[in-house]
Amino acid sequence: MNDRTLTPFIVAPGLSGGGAAGHAARDALRGAVVAIGNFDGVHRGHRAAIDTACARARALRRPAAVLTFEPHPRAFLKPQAPLFRLSEPSGKLRLLARTGLDGAIVLDFDAHLATLTAEAFVADILVGAFAVSGAVIGRNFLFGSNRTGTPDYLIAQGALRGFAVDIVPPFTLDGRMVSSGAIRTALEQGDLPTATAMLGAPWFVTGEVIHGDKRGRDLGYPTANIRLAPDCALRHGIYAVRIGIDGAWHAGVASFGRRPTFDNGAALLEIHLFDFAGDLYGRPLDIAFIGYIRDELKFDSIETLIAQMDRDSAEARAILDRQPEAVPLLAAPGEITAAI
């Protein structure tokens, strides 16, 4: 970090809003070196750009931040095409807060921003609103209306307007480019090793425990139930998981799917925590997916189902024992000062 390390992690509104707190947050990050992008999942490619921004910020003795967008531009521009997000806004910020950054600038991706020219993006936002001392983007990043802002254009603008520009090459792993799209595909296929390797840590979701039909309790496997986002395309099946509760991680096994043995209803995440007792209704949980065990199946009898659940639990314990340190690196919500 640098001499202007800001604690806790600061989240600044992009151009307006947030009142006095918003102005203070923007002032704190004014002059920052910014890594620009969507950062969905905060994967290893994103972290390469973030590391570059942090290094440049240290050299310039400035804050390091990301400049990101909500909602995801694709969700705004193509609302008819559901986007399987790897990290919801709060989860993205919690991941970013553990990367060495001082803060995040979150721009509202709306009709105004969608039609802003590349020149206006540089002049009005990078220079006018935040007086950035540096900008970091990936080689494939395009910005401005009709995606006319190219890396070469940003380099020229930086030279003209007095801020440094770093272009980060694509990050590859075993010859394959790391991208949010590749990680989505891996999760859709139940390929957790690839998703975890590209992310640099297990993929996770956060959700509030809701009331279910209490069937798991009758089967000897009480569950905490969470309804995931409708666009979640994680492969239906049984997973070894770790569950974060108030900053502590607990072992468990989870089923994500439609419960074909019973009702074949809407997709639901059902989590059974090992060696845990307590009321979790209404509480937020972080669920980290460590290993894929099997596909969701329909059973002919309750006895057969319970026998399989016993085997699944034993396998989940074995998977978790083999990966004792596998958890996402997340900031607690209280460590983030949000002015949006």
325 as an active site residue: the answer is: no
Q: What does DSSP say about strands 224-226 and 176-177: parallel, antiparallel, or unpaired?
A: unpaired
Cis omega (within 30 of 0) for bond into 89: no
User: For helices 44-60 and 192-199, what crossing angle results, to 10°?
Assistant: 10
Q: How far apart are CA 107 and CA 38, in angstroms?
A: 10
How is residue 297 written in tokens?
A: 């199946």
Tell the residue number behind the tokens 């802003």, with chain if given: 116
Catalytic one of 270, 303, 315, 325: 270
Angle at 5 between CA 179 and CA 53, to 5 degrees: 30
Tell the residue number behind the tokens 């919690």, with chain if given: 94
Where in the sequence numbering do the catalytic residues fall? 270
